[in-house]
Amino acid sequence: MRALKHGTMRAHVALALAALVLAGDALQPALAGGFNYKDALTKTIIFLEAQRSGKLPPNNRVKWRGDSGLEDGKLANVDLTGGYYDAGDNVKYGLPLAFTVTTLAWTALAFKPELQSAKELDHVYEAIRWGTDYLLKCAARKKKLWVQVGDPNLDHQCWVRPENMKAPRTLYEIDEKTPGTEIAAETAAAFAASSMVFRHDKAYSRALLNKAKLLFLFAKSHQGSYDGECPFYCSYSGFNDELLWAATWLYLATKRQVYADFITHEAISSSVAEFSWDLKFPGAQVLLAEFNMTSGGGAQNFKTQADNFVCAVLPDTAFHQVYITPGGVIHLRDGANTQYVTSTAFLFVVYSDLLLRTGQDVMCGNQPIRPERLREFARQQMDYLLGANPRSSSYVVGFGANSPTQPHHRGASTPVLPPGYDVNCGLSFGEWFAPDRPNPNELTGAIMGGPDKDDKFVDKRANSSYTEPCTYINSLAIGPLAALAERGPKLVATH
């Protein structure tokens, strides 16, 4: 886990943008269309199974993983087993976990035909439900939400796989006296989005939606940032984006006027150049772009703001803000930077589908940008991760050429030990963290956090800013990979 993760880019994109020259991107990947996207898709989903906590099912595909965290919640006489470890450590953080679930649910909704064709839809459903089953336990009590399991400071004192961890499973919660609007609203979004995915299971879908409504009301009524996950997950952007995000998903799930009213009259929205676990504005704006809604008393048009996100990212616009490395990939900041690569690719493909469906373009000032340009850029970003980069190396473990062998990950870098094995924490770093050798267990499908702004990457587990994977990097990669696998390199829509 990285301290002070991924601070938020706060700069707004100007609403009035000048014209741009639609030159083709000079950084065309050398191997465009030459990857086995289906294989990459499958492996990207398998990584999420390696992150599971709790009692693993018989069909678990990561054979070196075992049951873990089976007494989570016991300190408070509640059952908090299950869920996901967010990255390479053994803590379950509520904010990124819920965001992983929300984005997985969006993926299942937006790319259902592609996932069905690739025979991966059921695996995505399983990944979502592994998260929602856990989050339902966290939200079992009214006006209370368990938001974290495990003390990160103690956890970081021992390099041990989750099956043999020794640190106490300290519990953290939010309630009326200790609010946490970001986490409550993000969990509401996860429930609302997932309720749409599981409509074929009416009882389960209803349970998710009811929890979403209650948590949104709680988030709105007891406003305040929760800093208990800091310095590991500090919400630099505040909670207005999560409130808009949750209200958007609740509106989509219910079509109730109360959520439309919140979006149009109460919600705060802003043009930004980043979509991440911390900053959800562009995601909500893309979802709302086709509805005739505004916020801020009519001053903020969601289609315009979604366009502003695109114009801020594309390197061939007059007002681009996002740095692109010499090799052609987005770089916002060190530390799981590839989350911005996959999140942008995801939004670009989803938004291009919407634009084609509604016969619209992105408008950067007076210059239209065709949806095809968004798709080409999304493909370029994903191809870079798969190997079309200056290193000619994959950033996905177990996929392609020269894939990483030393992910910063306790379970993958530690040999399988007998249950109950007493790990010497003082010696654990010297035994399993420090040695310069490949991990004994392949963390199949994990997308590394690197490279740096100069396309440089060192495959060493100690280089955590570049070698630590995260669930939300992968959750946002699944959709673009499914589209590439089933539509082909040009991402031509089939539905």
C-alpha torsion sign, points 233, 398, 118, 34: positive
Decide if 259 contacts 250 (C-beta within 8 A). yes
447 has which bridge partners? Answer: 396
Tokens 């772009």 identify what position? Answer: 289
Euclidean distance between CA atoms 264 and 301, whole angstroms: 10
Euclidean distance between CA atoms 300 and 13, whole angstroms: 13
94 has which bridge partners? Answer: none
Of the candidates 6, 320, 408, 409, the residue annotated as catalytic is: 408
What number of other Cβ atoms are within 10 A of residue 115's Cβ?
Answer: 26
Euclidean distance between CA atoms 427 and 277, whole angstroms: 34
Tell me if residue 495 is catalytic. Answer: no
CA distances for 192 relative to 105, 189, 204, 246, angstroms? 9, 5, 12, 8
Length, in residues, of the chain: 495
Decide if 362 contacts 314 (C-beta within 8 A). no
Cis upstream peptide for 152 (omega within 30°) = no
Euclidean distance between CA atoms 167 and 23, whole angstroms: 55
**What residues act catalytically?**
408
